[in-house]
């Protein structure tokens, strides 16, 4: 079956409460889907997933200090970022949305859903956890995430990809470096701000109040986010479904041909989704 042809993305700088945010919008049908990205990554790195979503409106943006969004003078937390994201959607003219959070962006997605229960219709959480209060990765893995060097040094990335990402990265470092080729800049200070935001926040107390239908996607071979974190979120979120796969941290992007349609099925469901037991593959 031929996929519908979508209009090209429109990328621009939007000004929200005095901050310049680089945002990309692919206009389509249905409830818009907002994508919240991983730490240090520019919106271009989400392109493989966007390519495997149907002709719905998709909104991507660079968090302050990444990609084409300038670094603010002071650090920020997830409540502030969720408020800023709401302002960005106001600026773009969008009301109710679905939100997908990948890795670090999963924290922002959870916070946005908590702060905006009427505005966030459905929630997708991929390769993510509950912030500072989570089952952590091994120290040797976490240490490699303290700097953005993997975005600028492809040889270094190739040498550590399997250790920090697992899954397809174990067998094909080329797929990971190809992803990084899409990356556009950012600052070291902006990366530090993102690290600080993640280490000073947790969603654990808020999860029972996030009542939106939620799809949790997690890999059993994810060194960064051990799969037990997905099971904890599944137990605490009132209306969650969890899909466990045998891949790693970046499979959402390197295997987007599989995950894109699964996400579409979840977002397109018309009936309320019953709470399900964990399902694995």
176 in any annotated domain: yes
CA distance 193 to 81: 12
2 in any annotated domain: no
Total structural domains in the chain? 1
pLDDT at 6: 52
5 in any annotated domain: no
Q: What is the pLDDT of residues 74-124, one digit of tens each?
A: 999 999 999 999 999 999 999 999 999 999 999 999 999 999 999 999 999
1 in any annotated domain: no
CATH number of 132's domain:
3.40.50.1820
Q: Which two tokens stand for residue 222?
A: 């994810």
72 in any annotated domain: yes
Q: Which of 81, 198, 78, 76 is nearest to 133 (CA)?
A: 198
Active site annotation includes 24: no
Ranges of H-type helices in 185-275: 188-199, 228-236, 251-254, 256-268
Q: Which of 38, 59, 44, 36 is nearest to 185 (CA)?
A: 44
33 in any annotated domain: yes
Q: Which two tokens stand for residue 142?
A: 């976490």
- Of the candidates 24, 42, 69, 103, the residue annotated as catalytic is 103
User: Which segments of the chain are extended strands (E)?
Assistant: 10-16, 19-26, 29-36, 56-61, 97-102, 120-126, 214-219, 240-245, 279-280
4 in any annotated domain: no
Domain extent, residue 200, equals: 10-280
Q: Which two tokens stand for residue 167?
A: 């899954």
pLDDT at 2: 46
Residues 6+ apart with CB under 8 A from 35: 43, 46, 49, 50, 58, 59, 60, 100, 102, 105
108 in any annotated domain: yes
* Residue stretches of the chain with pLDDT short of 50: 1-4, 274, 281
Contact in structure between 144 and 160 (CB atoms under 8 Å): yes
């Amino acid at each position: 079956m031929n996929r519908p042809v979508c209009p090209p993305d429109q990328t621009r700088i939007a000004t929200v409460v005095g901050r310049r945010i680089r945002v990309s919008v692919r206009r389509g049908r249905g409830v818009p889907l907002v994508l919240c990205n991983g730490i240090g990554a520019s919106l271009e790195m989400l392109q493989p997933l966007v390519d495997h979503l149907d002709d719905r409106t998709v909104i991507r943006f660079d968090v302050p200090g990444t990609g084409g969004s300038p670094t603010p003078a002071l650090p920020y937390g997830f409540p502030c970022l969720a408020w800023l994201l709401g302002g960005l959607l106001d600026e773009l003219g969008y009301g109710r949305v679905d939100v997908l959070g990948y890795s670090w962006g999963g924290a922002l997605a959870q916070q946005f859903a908590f702060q905006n229960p009427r505005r966030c219709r459905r929630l997708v959480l991929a390769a993510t956890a509950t912030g500072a209060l989570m089952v952590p990765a091994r120290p040797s893995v976490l240490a490699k995430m303290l700097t953005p060097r993997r975005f600028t040094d492809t040889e270094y990335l190739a040498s550590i990809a399997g250790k920090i990402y697992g899954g397809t990265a174990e067998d094909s470092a080329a797929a990971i470096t190809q992803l990084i080729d899409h990356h556009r800049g950012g600052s070291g200070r902006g990366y530090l701000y993102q690290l600080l935001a993640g280490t000073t926040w947790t969603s654990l107390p808020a999860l029972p109040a996030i009542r939106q239908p939620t799809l949790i996607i997690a890999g059993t071979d994810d060194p960064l986010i051990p799969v037990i974190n997905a099971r904890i979120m599944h137990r605490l979120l009132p209306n969650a479904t969890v899909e466990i796969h045998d891949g790693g941290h970046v499979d959402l992007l390197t295997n987007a041909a599989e995950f894109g349609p699964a996400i579409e099925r979840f977002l397109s469901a018309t009936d309320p989704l019953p709470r399900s037991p964990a399902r694995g593959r």
